Amino acid sequence: MKVLLVEDDKDLAAGLVKVLQTESFLVCHSARGSDAKSQFTQFQPDLVILDLGLPDIDGIQVLKYFRSQKKETPVLILTARDGLADKVNALDIGADDYLAKPFDLAELLARLRVMTRRLGTASSSKIQVGNVVLDIAAHALMVNGEAVRLPRKEYMVLKTLMEEAGRVKTKEMLENNLYEWGEEIGSNAIEVHISNLRKKLPEQFIKTIRGVGYTVSRNDNQ
């Protein structure tokens, strides 16, 4: 698995290269946006880790370039914690995931595993559980072959549950995920999103694990 790491912080980059190599990734590192653009074409990475604060070109412009070249290569964005507008912007342009600095290495590796798994299961970046298909590239939901409209927050909640089907997600985990993408969270937000989602999904698709959280089963026979 080839990873293009775009990060101008020398120490952080050196640490990340080491960890990624230990995890058997083949790593190409660029410290500048211009290098990243040429490496993207030459190295043909399977995944990209992109810092938005680069010395020469705005990371958002680099992301736009990647998307104009190869739409499906998953991109994980790194940025400063206060870069709220950047996060939303990056999501709109088609970043697949986001981590705020400083981040935990274990968390980064977990996110990469999710991205890798998605690559392995479907080249079209679709997640399917039973008759429910979530198209990550198109941000679209299909239930029993019919397109269903999803507001962004509901999409984010469902994506998290389906990506990690078989695992229980606590309300806090789902909230944190929304929060990282720069969404405002009301006190009953997750309950409301889950309740809205259930109206659009097959019965018992999202299960409540009492006192713990929510889960989507790996397949539809329970």
> Taking the complex as a whole, how short is the minimal distance between the CB of residue 29 and Ca ion, in angstroms?
13
Which residues in the 95-134 window bind Ca ion by CB under 5 A? none
Beta bridge partners of 207: 215
> Taking the complex as a whole, how short is the minimal distance between the CB of residue 90 and Ca ion, in angstroms?
14
> Taking the complex as a whole, how short is the minimal distance between the CB of residue 172 and Ca ion, in angstroms?
29
> Taking the complex as a whole, how short is the minimal distance between the CB of residue 22 and Ca ion, in angstroms?
23
8 interacts with Ca ion by CB under 5 A: yes
Q: Among 25, 37, 51, 125, which residue sits at the site for Ca ion (rule: CB under 5 A)?
A: 51
In the complex with Ca ion, which residue's Cβ is closer, 58 or 135?
58
Q: Which residue is nearest to Ca ion (CB)?
A: 53
Q: Among 12, 17, 35, 53, which residue sits at the site for Ca ion (rule: CB under 5 A)?
A: 53
Half-sphere exposure of residue 140, counting CA atoms within 13 Å on the CB side? 10
In the complex with Ca ion, which residue's Cβ is closer, 51 or 163?
51
> Taking the complex as a whole, how short is the minimal distance between the CB of residue 98 and Ca ion, in angstroms?
15
* Token pair belonging to 95: 């970043």
In the complex with Ca ion, which residue's Cβ is closer, 30 or 177?
30
Q: Would you tell me which residues interact with Ca ion (CB under 5 A)?
A: 8, 51, 53
